[in-house]
Amino acid sequence: MMDVARLAGVSHQTVSRVLNEHPNVSEQTRLKVQAAIAELGYRPDRAARALVTGTSKVIGVVTQNTALYGPAMMLTAFEEAALATGFAVNVGSVRNLDERSIADAVERHLDQRVAGLVVIAPVASAGPALAQLPEHVPLVTIDGDPERTSTLVTVDQVAGARAATEHLLAAGHETVWHISGPSDWFDAAGRVRGWESALRDAGREIPPLLTGDWNAASGYRNGQLLARLPEATAIFTANDHIALGLLRALNEHGRRVPEDVSIVGFDDVPEAEYFTPPLTTVRPDFDAAATATLELLLAQIEQEGTADAARRTIAPSLVVRKSVAPPPA
């Protein structure tokens, strides 16, 4: 800051006022300081600023180190929303969402004086760690345990699964089979509940649940069984990658999609519209979830962590393509 002041021919207090957008600075002085900042490549030290002012413009995020589409897109959407409001995001990735890993990541964030925390915690193993966090720390959980009385933002998994199942029933199928995600994921459990409730409300038989692992290999493995069942004419998969593996298994057994079997996925990955056939799927609104998370977190920051627990549930939408048709005669 002293270097900027010397180059601009002003005091370091004036540089500070320009950086803080103080109104009592002439436009000519502001332009001189901004030119010096640009020439020197000066960047304010966020940690030092937090120590001086007692505030921080950094949000700490704890998430699993994963390439899975849903968590990755949620993180990207939140980073964009935070940056648009002037906050930087410090991401602490952990190998597993267990108590020790989350606690360590949170401690690292708190040591850096972050303004608040966001934890993307879609699995049951994260619960014990979240229960131990200091109460005064502004915190929002994304896709966490719906039973916890804490501030939570989540996509309505039940509604999305119901929409997928009802779409297949509306096409004329007697029932719908389901390949779920891992049982310890809240997203997977919600999608199972939505699938079951849609069938139950329609008075249809609920077939045995098949469990996947979010990847195409599990869709292919379960598809080897479903391809041999002529009564399996409609299948809802817990995500689009499972659907991709299922498509290959059905093709290898000579079962055509959608002429013989109809499929609906979940997530609307960018490749879904280029599957053969283009995949009908459920699209979560990651941008809306990120915006809601930021709004709730900023409310807590403004009230120094004393805001009441709140909950936002974001509705997904059904994207209709060409993988659903009436059942074969």
Q: Which of 220, 246, 248, 249 is nearest to 235 (CA)?
A: 246
At 213, the pLDDT band (50, 70, 90 cuts) reads very high
pLDDT of residue 326: 98
Residue 52 has pLDDT above 60, yes or no: no
What is the rounded CA–CA span in Å between residue 48 and residue 67? Answer: 34
**Residue 79 CB neighbours (<10 A):** 17
Mean per-residue pLDDT for 236-252? Answer: 98
Mean per-residue pLDDT for 21-44? Answer: 86
Q: Please enumerate in sequence order all residues whose Cβ is within 8 A of that of 230, keeping only pairs 6 or more positions apart, or say none.
A: none
CA distances from 278 to 25, 121, 247, 318 (A): 58, 31, 11, 14
pLDDT of residue 45: 57
Q: To the nearest whole percent, how much of the chain has pLDDT over 70?
A: 95
How confident is the model over 178-199, as pLDDT tens digits? 999 999 999 999 999 999 999 9
How confident is the model over 101-124, as pLDDT tens digits? 888 888 888 888 899 999 998 988
pLDDT of residue 53: 43
Residue 256 has pLDDT above 70, yes or no: yes
Residue 149 has pLDDT above 90, yes or no: no
Whole-number average pLDDT of the chain: 90
At 291, the pLDDT band (50, 70, 90 cuts) reads very high
Residue 51 has pLDDT above 60, yes or no: no
Q: Could you list the beta-strand ranges (E) of 13-160.
A: 58-64, 88-94, 116-120, 139-142, 152-155
Helices (H), 54-98: 69-84
